[in-house]
Chain A
Amino acid sequence: MTVQLIGVAKTYDGNQVLTGCSYTFGAGVDYVIMGDNGSGKSTLFRIAALLEAADLGEVRYLEGGVVLPPDILLKRRLTMVFPQVGVFSCSVFDNVAYGLKIRGLKKDQVQERVAGALEEVGLTHKSAQPAVTLSSGETVRLGLARALAIDPEVLFLDEPTTHIDKANTRLIEDCIRRLKEERALTLIIITHDPAQAGRLGGRQLLLEGGKIKEM
């Protein structure tokens, strides 16, 4: 699936965050977007992930040259992990199972995919634990597992290692690298850390002056 931004503009409280922002994210390609705090990276993500409407411009998802309607079927093919994960007050397992249960998957399929996702992020041993008791690093890994379980075609990761320790950062980066090798998904990551951008590889982009630029 190709993600196309066409002249996207967004203003918050009179402050122009995005101005005529256009870019095409190719299917199966991975990107790292950098930019200063307040440059509109998260806003860009929310609009690109169809969670928020742009004031001007358009977000298109294309498959085989055909524009897909922005309905629930399309929205279920992509997902986004925020720096604040938004943990449901149930077990780690049930958190990861959420996206699968709402899609009406059968119990054994749910179990299999949750187990796989938890293994990928190294949280198998915490499966039965109440998710709200996880550390901040583990919580981000849970957010990643929740996203991986639904097997998205486009994955947006917004500052996946902000405010977490080095050990968890390494685990998350390893997981992202494995993802890129093993899955054919379009991966778009936001980071403000150039060193991390270097470690993760992928096509490097810069969000500046409300527009995306190639680096």
Chain B
Amino acid sequence: METIIQGFVSAFQLITHLNPELLRIILLSLEVSGLALVAATVLGLPLGALLALKPFPFRGLLLSLLNTGMGLPPVVVGLFLYLILSRSGPLGFMALLYSPTAMIIGQAILAFPIVTSLAHAAIVGVDPVIRLAAQTLGATPWQEATTVVREARYGVGAAVIAGFGRVSAEVGLVLMVGGNIAHYTRVMTTTIALETDKGNFDLGIALGLILLTLSLMVNLALRAVQRRGRAQSGVRLWD
């Protein structure tokens, strides 16, 4: 019990003084997860929209694969990415293993099915009369599609935030392809795991608190997005 209390005291000191090492770890964590999310959204949102708006062969199969991908075990992704990026692997010549880029690629792979599936669900849920209305008002097919996606904007926002929730708390994958190298690929989750192993709890607790705060902020943002969406759709809120 004393260790835990001591750990919290030291953690608060670390946070209030914002130790440069701690700051670097936090910033790298945000950078890796943020860029992974940007990549997943840039690829996932158009695919989600395409799946929702245009019928094409094997669409159902692709959706099933994406839904399965939402539960991808991070260590399995880590293993395959490791094999692909390792020196003897097909992309070994790029020397990406144990770099932030490898971590970004890995997290993007994890977030992609979540962003795509949830964006698809949000877009496919838009009332078909919206699309028809856009058509009658003279929209081109592209304008029609962007109108429908815009109608689903709160659901799409929630999809992106859900993707962020998935990657920001992830540890196995970034450890496998990032290597937890100090000052280079060390992020919050890998540091917590390492410091706990070393019995060095104060940094672990400090990062744990920051990670929890971050998670809380993401959830608050998600809730705000959903509330706004419901308010816009005219549904009364009692909470």
Nearest CB on A from B225, distance (A)? 14
> Taking the complex as formed, is B5 at the interface, i.e. its CB lies under 8 A from any CB of chain A?
no
Contacts of A143 in B (CB 8 A): 133
> Taking the complex as formed, is A132 at the interface, i.e. its CB lies under 8 A from any CB of chain B?
yes
Contacts of A99 in B (CB 8 A): 137-138
- B232 and A150 contacting across the interface, CB-CB below 8 Å: no
Chain B residues 131 to 183 lying within 8 A of chain A, measured CB to CB, are 131-140, 143, 147, 150-151
Q: A82-B132, A86-B127 are in contact. Are A72 and B233 (CB under 8 A)?
A: no
Q: A82-B129, A86-B129, A86-B132 are in contact. Are A102 and B137 (CB under 8 A)?
A: yes
Residue of A with least CB distance to B133: A86
> Taking the complex as formed, is B130 at the interface, i.e. its CB lies under 8 A from any CB of chain A?
yes
Contacts of A147 in B (CB 8 A): 136-137
CA distance A2 to B129 in the complex (A): 27
Work out how many contacts link A and B, with CB atoms closer than 8 A: 60
CA distance A130 to B135 in the complex (A): 21
Q: What class of interface size applies to chain A in its complex with B? A: 20 to 34
25 A-B residue pairs with Cβ-Cβ distance under 8 Å, sorted by A, are: A49-B136, A51-B132, A79-B138, A80-B136, A81-B136, A82-B133, A82-B136, A85-B133, A86-B133, A86-B134, A88-B133, A88-B147, A88-B150, A88-B151, A89-B232, A98-B147, A99-B138, A102-B140, A102-B143, A130-B232, A133-B234, A143-B133, A146-B133, A146-B137, A147-B137
Contacts of A103 in B (CB 8 A): 138
Additional A-B contact list (5), CB under 8 Å, known A86-B131, A132-B234: A49-B136, A51-B136, A86-B132, A98-B147, A102-B140
Give the number of residues in B that approach A within 8 Å (Cβ atoms).
Answer: 20
Q: What 0/1 readout, one digit per residue, does chain B (212-239) give for beta carbons within 8 Å of chain A?
A: 0000000000000000000011100000
Closest 7 CB pairs of A and B: A86-B133, A86-B129, A76-B138, A99-B137, A132-B234, A89-B232, A80-B136
A interface residue numbers (CB < 8 A to B): 49, 51, 72, 75-76, 79-82, 84-89, 98-99, 102-103, 130, 132-133, 143, 146-147, 150
Nearest CB on B from A135, distance (A)? 11
Contacts of B131 in A (CB 8 A): 86
Q: A82-B129, A84-B129, A86-B130 are in contact. Are A132 and B136 (CB under 8 A)?
A: no
Contacts of B234 in A (CB 8 A): 130, 132-133
- A102 and B138 contacting across the interface, CB-CB below 8 Å: yes
